[in-house]
Structure 1
Amino acid sequence: MKKLYSALMTAFNEDGSVNEAGIREMVRYNIDVNKVDGLYVGGSTGENFNMSHDQKVQVFKTAIDEAGDAIDLIAQVGSLDLNESKELAKLVTDLGYPKISAVTPFYYNYTFEQIKNYYNEIVKDVDNKLVIYSIPVLTGVSLSIDQFAELFENPKIIGIKYTNADFFLLERVRNRFPDKLILSGFDEMLLPALALNVDGAIGSTYNLNAKRAKAEMVAFDEGDIDKARELQKVSNDAISALIANDIYPSLKLVFEEMGVHAGVTKAPMSKPTPEMIAGAKKIYNDYFKD
């Protein structure tokens, strides 16, 4: 069975400080109710790039303290500051995270040799396994199949969080590297990713939508493509509604409707408006209410 990971959100207080109690609630809900296979901690959904170093450390410590070894944990340690990435890689390894991940370095149009050095440096001094976080739509960095091959020459680099709509490249990567871990990162494209034999998926909406996504995986494995297609349609309807309502704060607002105190997003992301709150209530009633 393919694995499903929720991309863990970070609960913030109104003043922008980390709300540890909220993080613990979200971790517990994902373990006890969603029954996901793992959590991706410190990624885009976790608002990692809006956080200070100390806040990142706080989130990593809180998440694993609550989760323990109940599920798989992947810590996203990528940063434009390579020294910070290396420091976080050591920290999370010492905390017990069994895998780390790192976004491709962005903004400065790095050469591939610089990107390769970044990944090799992150894993050089830690006894851990790294999953490349490839998300070209946000980083502007697209890696080719041959560049992935060069990165995979390092035995500590074990796979890809593939958040990319290029399904031709995904098919090529899957077939060239059958033993590498490939996890789909676009929730709205889960079904075509399953068709290309990914090992699982990581996504933000799985915090709310894990049961439907897991049912889709089961339907696909059982050959019931019509059912899988219908489940993907409903998921995509929900995703469209979340995007229209401002997805990051809306994920947290819907979580609140589900009884999970997810806090607020951190500025410069939006704070909830009355219209946004009303929209989130409708999304909850339309797609997630039992």
Structure 2
Amino acid sequence: MSAIYITPPMASPSNRKLTGLVAATFTPLTHQGEINLSLIEPYIDYLVENQGVHKVFVNGTTGEGLSLSVDERKRLAEEWCKKGKSKLQQVIVHVGCLSLKDSQELARHAAETGADGIAVISPSFFKPTSADALRQFLQEVAAAAPQLPFYYYHIPAMTGLTLRASDIVEGIEETIPSFRGLKFSSSDLMDFGQCISKCPSHWSQLYGVDEQLLGALVMGASGAVGSTFNYLGNRVNSLLSAFDEGDLRQARTLQIQDIISYAVKQGFDLAVNKQLMCQVSGLPLGPPRLPLLPCPGSKAQSIAQRLQQSMPHVAVSAAPKYQFLPVPDSFLANPRSPPGQ
């Protein structure tokens, strides 16, 4: 990957700009629905050694953060920071909740735990009715951990927020001195471009729609946060390099990925995405948490077959290291019974 995407290794966490690929991590769960902290360390090793990804975004949408308790989110943040201390370059912890108090508690905890930054999503039940209202909410959370870089996480498809990100971030550093950018998870490249135009050089403009990353790079994205980087990190790092070198033909080839096109046809929900990660990495990350249902066995088998066609070297080489158990169709009827029992 080229120099413009490399983080200076000796920069302090408070001044280190977040660039390049950031994996939005899945939360390992047992088949009884409990968090499985024992998989965090091998997960980190896989990202670093197999995918060339050294930065993570924990407890976000991919990590089912809003389906976890405050205590579970704390334990996950602690494990990622502890086990990633000597292996990862940056650990960003998403601390957004429906409750302001819970968000502040998680922000303080992230600072105490050693996170390199925090991100916050908009509340999605009682929604802010204006950009100013949301900025006030974000300001209160950021104030709980003023020493940490603060990122706004914009994902209107999940929050139902109709506010434009460019309106939200305008002048935001006047009230949130620690503000350092946003994760923009929307296909509205016009809004993203307007964010870029208002972006000081020390902000990170991170794009969050993996299948449209190349378009965001053209608009000026400084990096990306995404779920598919967990298992396609090497390929997307190559895309970044091709773009930086001006090889748009190669960048387009790398952007258009058969397995992602297939996954989109399968719905590309969290269950499908987690199934892809399990199949490629060999890590038994378990099912999603209710109310999300696990990937049916028939669909899991179809995904495995497509992976063998699209990425035979990955699917085969990763399999021996960790046991992988596809979820049978019968599991849907009783989702707390382990497969095969």
TM range (shorter): over 0.9
Find the aligned partners of 1:39 and 1:222 in 2 and give their Cα distance.
25
Quote the residue 1:125 is aligned against: 144
1:144 offset after TM fit, Å? 4.7
Q: 1:115 to 1:33 in 2, by over 3 A?
A: same
SS of the residue 2:256 aligns to: helix
Question: Which runs of 5 or more residues in structure 1 are unaligned?
Answer: none
1:272 maps to which of 295, 302, 310 = 295
Find the aligned partners of 1:256 and 1:135 in 2 and give their Cα distance.
25
Answer yes or no: is the 8 Å Cα contact 2:213–2:255 preserved in 1.
yes
Quote the residue 2:112 is aligned against: 94
Higher mean C-alpha displacement, 30-39 vs 91-100: 30-39
Quote the residue 2:102 is aligned against: 84
The answer to whether structure 1 residue 171 and structure 2 residue 193 are counterparts is yes
SS of the residue 1:4 aligns to: strand
- Over the residues paired in the alignment, what is the CA RMSD in angstroms? 1.7
SS of the residue 1:108 aligns to: coil
1:182 offset after TM fit, Å? 0.5
- How many residue pairs are counted as aligned between the two chains? 288
In the superposition, the TM-score normalised over structure 1's length comes to 0.94
Quote the residue 1:105 is aligned against: 123
2:286 maps to which of 263, 271, 285 = 263
Higher mean C-alpha displacement, 279-288 vs 25-34: 279-288
Provide the identity percentage: 25
Find the aligned partners of 1:165 and 1:24 in 2 and give their Cα distance.
33
Q: 1:23 to 1:37 in 2, by over 3 A?
A: closer
Map residues 1-290 of structure 1 onto 2, 5 A cutoff: 1-2=4-5, 3-69=20-86, 70-112=88-130, 113-126=132-145, 127-141=147-161, 142-153=163-174, 154-179=176-201, 180-234=203-257, 237-243=258-264, 244=266, 246-257=268-279, 258-290=281-313
SS of the residue 1:152 aligns to: helix
1:87 offset after TM fit, Å? 0.5
Matching residue's letter, 1:281: A
Identify, as 1 or 2, the structure richer in helix.
1
Question: Which runs of 5 or more residues in structure 2 are unaligned?
Answer: 6-19, 314-341
Larger Rg: 2
Find the aligned partners of 1:233 and 1:130 in 2 and give their Cα distance.
32
Q: 1:289 to 1:63 in 2, by over 3 A?
A: farther
4+ runs deviating over 4 angstroms = none
Answer yes or no: is the 8 Å Cα contact 1:7–1:202 preserved in 2.
yes
In the superposition, the TM-score normalised over structure 2's length comes to 0.80
Answer yes or no: is the 8 Å Cα contact 1:22–1:263 preserved in 2.
no
Matching residue's letter, 1:13: T
1:160 offset after TM fit, Å? 0.6
Answer yes or no: is the 8 Å Cα contact 2:25–2:57 preserved in 1.
yes
Find the aligned partners of 1:281 and 1:144 in 2 and give their Cα distance.
38
1:246 offset after TM fit, Å? 4.9
Q: 1:49 to 1:171 in 2, by over 3 A?
A: same
